[in-house]
Structure 1
Amino acid sequence: MEKYTKHFFNNIRKKLQEWETAVAIPHEEVYRFIHSLAGSASVLGLHKIGDRSRELMDRYEEKEGRTWTISEVKEELFDIIQYCYQYEEESIGVLPGKQSRSGEEPVILLIDDDTSFLMYMKEELEKIGWYVVPIANPDKAIISYYDVRPDCAIIDIYMDGTNGFEVLDFFKKKLKQQFIPTVMVSGENSKEVRMKSYQMGADDFIAKPFELDEFIVRVERQMERKKQMEELVLIDELTLVYNRKYLSQAYAQVQSNWARTGDSYCLAVLDLDYFKGVNDRYGHLVGDQVLKKFASQLKSETRVQDTVFRFGGEEFVVLFPNTSIKEACTLVDDIRKRFSQLKFQAESDFFCTFSAGVTEIADPTKPFDTWLKLADQALYEAKSSGRNIVKMDGKASEHTPHKTMKIAIVDDDPIIRTVMMDIVSKLPGEQHIQYDIQTFKDGAAFIESEWHMTNPCLVILDGVMPKMDGLEVLERLRSRSDSDRYKVLMLTSRRSEKDISRSLQLGADDYMTKPFKLLELEARLGQMLKRMR
């Protein structure tokens, strides 16, 4: 039966490939294809496909005077195409123990030129729910550090052509305020190597080979230490949002991102109205409850990428990355409306409001105080206009052009292309970002296209394709002078460890082994797009 089922799926692929080259597809041909699916699927026990095919047959007559485009066919047959992928996925099985992704799991940057070690560690650590970014090229690791913003960096000391100490030195000098732990690993366990690791600022040293469970515990300890340090040094004790000490570090990240991507940022200053009257009438304990509730609402109603700070007293600051000033004003105003309806209880019920000023960080090479003053001026206008209002900095541009992000799906399998196109088109985006999505049936078609020559581009790349395989495509992309514009997710067979190894050496940003759960793919793409924003 398995032989006939495989033949059934291959026939679907063959028909989709045939139709992709057609300008118009006769209705009668589409009807006969659906009729064929309805009969064969039920015989093979593929009941979901059979039932769906019969539902479609009931919609149409065999003789109808119309033609179809391939887009219309794929849309009409999408449920069937998705069932095909799911049946094949279930028949082969996926890696056991792998947890689903939430987008909030710990992020580990793993740097080692031993690709076998990278593959093993990635698989094992992702089983426990961590998100692992494997880097085989130390030079690429430095760039990735900015993109990934990991919770822990694990660095091998001895790598071909590069000393892991050089990478560690860069991290500690350039990012010393980030409080991101670094763990050195090495096959050499001499006293000299251990001492040098600690002298250069490593937070831990683990000798190879190691017991995996002990390794996990030690890395978890470092990440917990990072969290505790942030809470101790950078978190406001009362409101549990960042304090003003963290603003310099956050602005340094803005400057770094802007230098590489040119993305727009906005800054809002928010101040509770008549807060002194709350303290005077109800007491400071009630005032503290108002501050805590206000901070909690800011945290819950801003986006994941936004950062909330308590600047001092009843004044708060919010940084909005990749956001136009019009969008930032809308976000703050929505929070204002909801907060003004919140009832506080003391000896009598009362309500609170806040005013806000918003500005665009047009040039992050200028000091942070430049933008803080502009937002403060807008806040002053809001207070002068009667309070409980959001004002935009009058000097800021009211419109920031949308950023276009391109997503290429390069795979010779029409079933996978169709399913992935659907997943990618439904990924959550931002108002200022437009996704331009294209599919390519082989590597040569992608390389020859001029479509991807501009804007940041995420490439979902199948490893094995006719004419030009994924590794050759990856090699060509990484040889380009603007190669950092491309983020590449390689799709490989579980059995092709050599291909995975080679893709890491060539600079793939991540990889997934087929077959994979669609939710797993969706989460992985979300992580990569978040890095690109």
Structure 2
Amino acid sequence: MDKYKQHFFNNIRTKLEQWESLSEITNEEVYRFLHSLAGTSSIIGLQKIGDKARVLMEQLDETSDRKWTFEEVKRYLIEIIEDCYEYEEGINTSLTKSKVRNSNEPVLLIIDDDTSFLMFLKEKLEAIGWYVVAIANPEKAILSFYDVRPDCVIIDIYMNEKNGFEVLEFLKQKLKQQFIPTVMVSVEKEKSIRMKSYEMGADDFIHKPFELDEFIVRIKRQLERKKQIDELLLLDELTHVYNRKYLKQAYAQVQNEWKRSKEDYSLAVLDIDYFKKVNDRFGHLVGDVVLKEFANILKRETRIKDIVFRYGGEEFVILFPKTNVDEAMEVLNRLRENFSQYVFHQEESFSCTFSAGVVQILDATKPFEKWLELADQALYEAKNNGRNRIEQADKPKVMQHQKTVKMAIVDDDPIIRTVMADIIKKLPLNPKRKIELQTYKDGKAFIQSDWHLGDPCFVILDGVMPNMDGLEVLTNLKSKKDANRYRVLMLTSRKGDQDIAKALELGADDYMTKPFKFDEIIGRIEKMLQRMM
């Protein structure tokens, strides 16, 4: 890039930083700025920016006394700001033409303290459409397993802090309750090492160094096996009630019976209250004990004709055939009282409760999703009204409970801050989450702020900044007692391999190298948000 274009972009940065500190911006300033862009950009070869600046300028009344806020100016200029990023980085990043990556792409968890290996494998595997979570710290990998929900786990046998076999032994306590293939990798290839891997339950052993194409084929084979087994299984492996795959089949039977008899059916969605606190306090293995006992109570104390499903996480669904909503409420309240009296004996004794929403299926010809949504909305009303209660979806609309997720963009470049903020504002709507967004010019300003305290916080963090760089911020966040509240996506330059390696060692949850395409970072952000819900 020639010096005139670089000077042009730096002037835009300077103007954005000046405006960011003002409470209001005059219409005359905005008009003059666009006039300057339109005149200069065409001369130095930035015709696209010049054309857009001219159109925006012509839409303004030069004599107007309007006062603009900085947010209004950013919204008005967003296409020009995005084009600046596009020109500087030399990539085509048009948001309107981008496609979010497939949310059903396989998720791979790779555990290896060799950060160079992690970075190489992550780049190659994500290039073929897989989503890779690369973790250098085995302890963090164990804690992250429940959030990541991988389709395949790849573990290096020899690591400094923890032997790969120790990681495998721990994970197999969880993996044996659901089929998640594990692949061990090692520079050692002795028969005893291979035998031990298979004896402990690994599905494959791959010797380092390996040919990448063969490695991909072998991982793909494990993913295909998992997909086939998942499609065959109708029971949830942990709780031994039906899984969500069977729900549609069960509802199809309801539709057939309803057409013949027109008898009442009801549907309930149940959710264990404060289940995350159980996991945080006692660990996920105790959380599994709670889920299994909850499912046992549901199976044991519902009627023979009722069908129990595990919908996901701590959420369950009950289908009540030939049952009106009042009868379903009676069953649910009995379950609620009995479950609240059950005592779990672990390090210390504790009890749990659940909340539920129930709806009567008035017309089984309507899609199942319609009734599920109504029951789900009633569940969130029960949560909002204090938990440990059942609410009936007898209103046309119920206020949806939303989980607040704070998102912070910490970057000293005003163009990046503006582009990233616009990307987040254009994320697909999700009725179960509410995003609060803040931007920070440097790491020190973010750390000294108390805004990020309390709720879960997703931090998009630049690696290189004045005052306090991204690695210092990451170290600070990961040293907090409530470090599990934070998810950190590091932004690094192509030349920042050492920074990426250090970020992985410090516990960054993911990273992206600049320049990034909008569709790629949208997909990455969505994946990480799903892990926070």
TM-score by length of 2: 0.74
Percentage of pairs with the same residue: 54
Aligned to 2:149: 149
Matched, 1:75 2:75: yes
Relative to structure 1, the CA distance from residue 68 to residue 448 in structure 2 (aligned partners, 3 Å threshold; closer, same or farther) is: same
Q: Equivalents in 2 of 1:31, 1:531: separation in Å?
A: 44
| Contact 1:25–1:70, Cα closer than 8 Å, also in 2 | yes
Relative to structure 1, the CA distance from residue 270 to residue 374 in structure 2 (aligned partners, 3 Å threshold; closer, same or farther) is: farther
Aligned to 2:446: 446
How far is 1:90 from its partner?
Answer: 2.3
How far is 1:403 from its partner?
Answer: 1.8
Q: Equivalents in 2 of 1:430, 1:61: separation in Å?
A: 38
How far is 1:230 from its partner?
Answer: 2.3
Relative to structure 1, the CA distance from residue 150 to residue 23 in structure 2 (aligned partners, 3 Å threshold; closer, same or farther) is: same
Relative to structure 1, the CA distance from residue 116 to residue 136 in structure 2 (aligned partners, 3 Å threshold; closer, same or farther) is: same
How far is 1:102 from its partner?
Answer: 1.5
| Contact 1:35–1:57, Cα closer than 8 Å, also in 2 | yes
How far is 1:178 from its partner?
Answer: 1.6
Aligned to 1:6: 6
Relative to structure 1, the CA distance from residue 168 to residue 43 in structure 2 (aligned partners, 3 Å threshold; closer, same or farther) is: same
Q: Equivalents in 2 of 1:477, 1:251: separation in Å?
A: 40
Map 1:107-126 to 2 at 5 A: 107-126=107-126
Map 1:184-223 to 2 at 5 A: 184-223=184-223
| Contact 1:110–1:118, Cα closer than 8 Å, also in 2 | yes
Map 1:221-370 to 2 at 5 A: 221-232=221-232, 234-235=233-234, 243=235, 245-246=236-237, 248=239, 272-273=253-254, 275=256
Residue type matched to 1:402 in 2? Answer: Q
| Contact 2:35–2:53, Cα closer than 8 Å, also in 1 | yes
How far is 1:274 from its partner?
Answer: 7.9
Q: Give the CA RMSD over aligned residues.
A: 4.3
Relative to structure 1, the CA distance from residue 70 to residue 100 in structure 2 (aligned partners, 3 Å threshold; closer, same or farther) is: closer
How far is 1:362 from its partner?
Answer: 7.9
Aligned to 2:33: 33
Residue type matched to 2:148 in 1? Answer: V
Q: Equivalents in 2 of 1:374, 1:65: separation in Å?
A: 55
Aligned to 2:495: 495
Relative to structure 1, the CA distance from residue 428 to residue 316 in structure 2 (aligned partners, 3 Å threshold; closer, same or farther) is: farther
Aligned to 1:260: none
Structure 1: segments with no counterpart, 5+ residues: 94-98, 236-242, 254-268, 281-310, 333-352
Aligned to 1:350: none
| Contact 2:408–2:460, Cα closer than 8 Å, also in 1 | yes
| Contact 1:178–1:249, Cα closer than 8 Å, also in 2 | no
| Contact 1:404–1:456, Cα closer than 8 Å, also in 2 | yes
Matched, 1:480 2:480: yes
| Contact 2:461–2:491, Cα closer than 8 Å, also in 1 | yes
| Contact 2:178–2:238, Cα closer than 8 Å, also in 1 | no
TM-score by length of 1: 0.74
Q: Equivalents in 1 of 2:104, 2:364: separation in Å?
A: 37
Residue type matched to 1:123 in 2? Answer: E
Q: Equivalents in 2 of 1:193, 1:365: separation in Å?
A: 48
Q: Equivalents in 1 of 2:83, 2:240: separation in Å?
A: 48
How far is 1:228 from its partner?
Answer: 2.1
| Contact 1:270–1:355, Cα closer than 8 Å, also in 2 | no
Aligned residue for 1:453, secondary structure, equals: coil
How far is 1:2 from its partner?
Answer: 2.2
Relative to structure 1, the CA distance from residue 431 to residue 178 in structure 2 (aligned partners, 3 Å threshold; closer, same or farther) is: same
| Contact 1:423–1:522, Cα closer than 8 Å, also in 2 | yes
Structure 2: segments with no counterpart, 5+ residues: 94-98, 245-249, 262-298, 343-351, 366-370, 383-387, 392-398
Residue type matched to 1:50 in 2? Answer: G
Matched, 1:396 2:369: no
Aligned to 1:415: 415
Aligned to 1:305: none
How far is 1:151 from its partner?
Answer: 0.8
Aligned residue for 2:481, secondary structure, equals: coil
Q: Equivalents in 1 of 2:192, 2:315: separation in Å?
A: 52
